[in-house]
Amino acid sequence: MEKPKLLVYDIGGCEGCPLSITRALPQLTNVVDVYSSHLGNIDLDKIYDIIVVTGSICINDPVKVELLKKLRDKACILIAYGSCASVGGITLFCRGGQEPKPEHRTFQAISAVVDVDYAIPGCPPAPNLLVSLINSLKMGRGYFLQLFASIPRARKLSGFDLMDEIVLSGLCIGCGACVLSCPTHALHFVDGKPDLIVEKCIRCGTCCARCPRFTQILVRKYAPKPKLLSR
């Protein structure tokens, strides 16, 4: 049977996310035919079963905005890969020295411009998450479908949201998944509950996507009917 076609396209991030996908290529090529600039086989006139976009969109760059809309048109399923594409991440909130700059709104999650079917946060995400999502798409079921379909609708995820929604509201069970998942060590335990070192948080949202309590809320609040592969 013909494998689904998957295009990887970087719209404006660092090399971390494309590299993370490259690391997953041995597993990915078992389940999909991969097209990417690294493989030198991109054809933007084709329709793809899945397009994976990395990086955030510069909303002041009309060429990039049009390109992103074209990618949406060419994709049966559009996946935002990495925190920049999923929630804006470091490019939305930080400039130079990783200082928080909430007024800096030039770079946005791609869902600010187009409809996104699934988003996988992480800076960069663990490569096996994309493989797991594609396997769930092929089977038409699985936990990843609901979780990653809810994230584009949540729009923002960060250590600040984790503290507000889970820790300060008393829902935290002290499992430590958030602390272990944070790429910048912005979370640490104080009296058995996570606390945030605010200046270290790059708003990647990884902790929220790993927290068993937060993911329950995300799915309950935002999960749409998951869009599946048509074959």
Contact flag: residue 110 with ligand SF4 (CB under 6 A)? no
**Spatial separation of the C-alpha atoms in residues 18 and 196, rounded to whole Å:** 29
Question: Per-residue DSSP letters for 38-95?
Answer: TTT---TTS-EEEEEEEE-EETT-HHHHHHHHHHHHHEEEEEEESHHHHH-HHHHHEE
| Widest Cα–Cα separation across the chain | 56
Contact flag: residue 84 with ligand SF4 (CB under 6 A)? yes
**Spatial separation of the C-alpha atoms in residues 80 and 88, rounded to whole Å:** 10
Q: Which residues of 52-81 are buried (b: 16+ CB within 10 A; e: fewer)?
A: bbbbbbbeeeeebbebbeebbebbbbbbbb
Q: Do 228 and 137 form a contact (C-beta atoms < 8 A)? A: yes
Region near ligand SF4 per CB under 6 A, out of 14-22, 24-32, 61-69, 95-103: 14-22
Tell which positions 28-67 bind ligand SF4, by CB under 6 A: 54-55
Region near ligand SF4 per CB under 6 A, out of 21-29, 41-49, 127-135, 193-201: 193-201
Contact flag: residue 207 with ligand SF4 (CB under 6 A)? yes
Region near ligand SF4 per CB under 6 A, out of 39-47, 60-68, 128-136, 176-184: 176-184
Among 50, 123, 137, 151, indicate the residue that binds ligand SF4 (CB under 6 A). Answer: 123
Contact flag: residue 158 with ligand SF4 (CB under 6 A)? yes
Binding site residues, ligand SF4, CB under 6 A: 13-14, 16-17, 54-55, 82-84, 89-90, 123-124, 158-159, 162, 166-167, 172-178, 181-182, 184, 186-187, 194, 196, 201-207, 211-214
